Amino acid sequence: MAPSTLFVKRLSILALHFPYLNSGFSQGIQDLFAPRHFMAELTNPERRMLRALQNRHDAWTLEDILSACNWDDQAIAVSAGHGLSNQGLVKTLESSTKEVILGSEGKNAAENGLLEARLWTYIQANSSATMGDLSSNFERHETGPGIGLLKGLGVSIQGGKFACDDKPSVDKKIEQRTEYIQSPTINHVLYEHFKGRKNLIEVVELVSRTWKISSDGINISKEELEEHTQVAEITPELLQSDEWKEAQFRPYDVSLEASMPRSGRSHPMQALIERIRSIFLEMGFSELVDDYVQTAGWNMDALFIPQDHPAREMQDTFYLDNPKKIQLDPKLLANWKAIHEHGGDTESTGWGGQFNEDISQKGLLRTHTTVNTIQYLAQNPTDPCRVFAIDRVFRKESIDRTHLPEFHQIEGIIMEPGANLGMLVSTLKTFYAKMGYPEVRVRPAYFPYTEPSLEVEVKWRGKWLELGGAGIFRPEVTEPLGIKDPVCAWGMGLERLAMLVLGLDDIRQLYISDLEWLRNQPIL
C-alpha cells in the first residue's frame, strides 16, 4: 500500500472514533495536521487556570496557581500553562538560577566526614601510624587520594611516618571544608576547590516559571471558561446509553508529537504474504503447500521443458547430491518420453531427440512453484479447482540488486470447463487491484508449458514493471496427466511485488534484518 493511502486509511479510522473531527472544522482534514491553525477547545484545567488569571493581571508563580486552582499536582498546572501559552492566552516567563547540590561522594562526606577529615583524625589518634596502617584501616581507593589531600594541607611523610609543622592550620582548613560540605553554595571560596574534586558537588540549573495573562486571555468571557465533563474515551457503555448525544468530546490533537509504540510485529515479507493469502482466499482459492525437494521430471519434464533447455544447466538449477535420484512411476516416465520425443497422442510433434529417464529422476530444489500445481492437477485431474501457493523457490543466481538465489513465487491455477485467457487476465487484474495496483497490462510471452503465454506488467510510478508469467497449459502438459478441462496458470515474483509495495530499489534490503528499517515499515 502506498504511504499516502495508508495515511488516509488511518485518518478515516480516527474520524470514525472521534466524531468531532468531522464537525466544527470547515478547514478540512488536511488542516488538522498543521500546528494549531485553529483555536482548539480549552481543556478543563486550562479553563480553570485562565479563570484564576483573569482575577489578577500580573505574574503568577506556580504556588499562586496551585492554590488559586485548588490543585496539588504541579504537572497539571504546568501543562495547562503550556496549553494556554500555545494558544496565546497567557505568556510564560522563564528564569533560571544555578544551585549547588551534593554529588554521590558529597552526600557520603556530609554524613560520614570528608576523607581528609577522617584520615587526619586517625593520624592524630595514632601518632606513629604508617602508610601501611592507613591501607589496612581505610578503603583501598581512599588511601592514595587521601594522602594527596593531606599533603595539600601541609602534612608530610618522614621516614614512613606522618609529620606536620602547623597542626592548628590543618585543623582549621578541615573544619572550613567540613562546614562547606554541609551547605555548599556557589559564591564561596571553597566552591572552586570542591568543583575540582570528583562527585562531591554538582551545579544544577533550576528553572522557575511565572505566568501572566495576555489581552486575548483577558477578553475570553467567563461563560466560555466554564468547566464541563469531557469524554476522553468512547466506551461501549457510552454508546449504548444515550449519553453520547449530549456529551462533550475532548479534542484530539493529531498534530502533537507522539512516541512510536515499539511492539513486536510481523516482518514485512510475512505481513505481505498474509495479505496476498487473504486476497486469494477471498477470491475462492485454496492454498497448496508442498516440498522444496522435487524431481527434474515434475519440475521440468511434466511441463514440457525440453531436456536440453538451457534453464536446466547447472548455472540455473540446484541439483542435489542427496537425494541424487528419486524414483518415479515408470508409466509416468513412459508418458513423458512419448510426449517429448514425438508428441504422444496429442498431435504435437514433441521435441524430437532422445528422452532420458535418468535426468527425470534427478533430485533438485524446485526452481518454480509450478512444480506443485502440476502435481496437484495430476492427483486431481477431473475436479475443477482454484488453487494458489506462496512459496520459496531456488535458482543459482548471483546476488545483486534485483536477484536472490532463494525467493518466493505467487503461483496459481484455475481449472474448470470453459476456463480461458479472459478469465486468467481478469483474475490477475482483480488480484493486483486488491493489492492497490489498478493498472495492469499483459503482453505476449513464451513458456514451454503454456499457449498462449503472457507476461503480466503493473504500472508503478509511471513505469510498467514485469511481475510474472501466465498462460493456458498446453495439451503436451495436460493430456498425459488425464486433465480434460483448460487450466489457467500463473507464477509471479513475491519479492518484486514487495519492492513495489515498500518502495525499494534493492531486493537485499528485505532480508538483511535492519531493525531500524523494519520498525519503520508501514503496516501492510
Query: Which range in 128-136, 276-284, 291-299, 464-472 contacts ligand PHE by CB under 6 A?
Result: 464-472
Residues 475-514 that bind ligand PHE (CB under 6 A): 489-491
Our CB check for ligand PHE shows the closer of 174 and 393 to be 393
Query: Would you call 144 exposed, middle or buried from its count of C-beta atoms within 10 A (0-12, 13-18, 19+)?
Result: exposed
**Any contact of residue 472 with ligand PHE (CB under 6 A)?**
no
- Beta-carbon contacts of residue 167 (< 8 Å; ≥ 6 apart): none
Q: Rule CB under 6 A: say whether 364 interacts with ligand PHE.
A: no
CB 446 within 8 A of CB 453: yes
Q: Report which secondary-structure segment, H or E, holds 26.
A: none
Q: Which is nearer to ligand PHE, 60 or 490 (CB)?
A: 490
**Measured distance between the N- and C-terminal CA atoms of the chain, rounded to whole angstroms:** 7
3-state secondary structure 437-470: CCCEEEEECCECCEEEEEEEEEEECCEEEEEEEE
What does the angle CA 106 – CA 110 – CA 113 come to, to the nearest 5 degrees?
105
- Of 295 and 370, CB closest to ligand PHE: 370
CB of 468 to ligand PHE, least distance (A): 6
Among 45, 83, 344, 469, binds ligand PHE (CB under 6 A): 469
Q: Are 5 and 524 in contact, with CB atoms under 8 Å apart?
A: no
Q: Are 418 and 484 in contact (CB under 8 A)?
A: no
Residue number, 304 or 490, with CB nearest to ligand PHE: 490
What mask of x and - would describe binding to ligand PHE in positions 309 to 348, judged by CB under 6 A? ----------------------------------------
By beta-carbon proximity to ligand PHE, the closer residue of 109 and 470 is 470
Site residues (CB under 6 A) for ligand PHE, limited to 49-68:
none
Closest approach of ligand PHE to the CB of residue 418, in Å: 19
CB of 113 or CB of 381, closer to ligand PHE: 381
Q: How far is the CB of 491 from ligand PHE (least distance, A)?
A: 3
> What cell does 285 get?
482459492
Contact 495, 404 (CB under 8 A): yes
Count the neighbouring beta carbons within 10 Å of the beta carbon of residue 70. 8
* Cα separation, 359 vs 342, whole angstroms: 18
Q: Which residues contact 446 (CB under 8 A, 6 or more apart)?
A: 453
Please report whether residue 450 would count as binding ligand PHE according to CB under 6 A. yes
**Part of the chain binding ligand PHE (CB under 6 A), chosen from 168-176, 333-341, 423-431, 469-477:** 469-477
CB closer to ligand PHE out of 106 and 491: 491
Which residue in 47, 209, 337, 368 binds ligand PHE (CB under 6 A)?
368
Per CB under 6 A, the list member of 81, 471, 480, 486 interacting with ligand PHE is: 471
Binding mask 138-157 for ligand PHE (x = CB under 6 A): --------------------
Closer of 344 and 471 to ligand PHE (Cβ): 471
CB of 415 to ligand PHE, least distance (A): 13
Considering the rule CB under 6 A, would residue 217 count as an interface residue with ligand PHE?
no
Distance, CA of 351 to CA of 17 (rounded, Å): 65
- Beta partners for 414? 386, 488
Binding residues for ligand PHE, total number by CB under 6 A: 11
368 contacts: CB under 8 Å, gap ≥ 6 = 299, 393, 409, 411, 491
- Minimum CB–partner distance for residue 302 and ligand PHE (Å): 12
Q: How many CB atoms lie within 10 A of CB 483?
A: 19
d(C-alpha 30, C-alpha 204), whole Å: 43
The binding site for ligand PHE (CB under 6 A) comprises: 368, 370, 447, 450, 468-471, 489-491
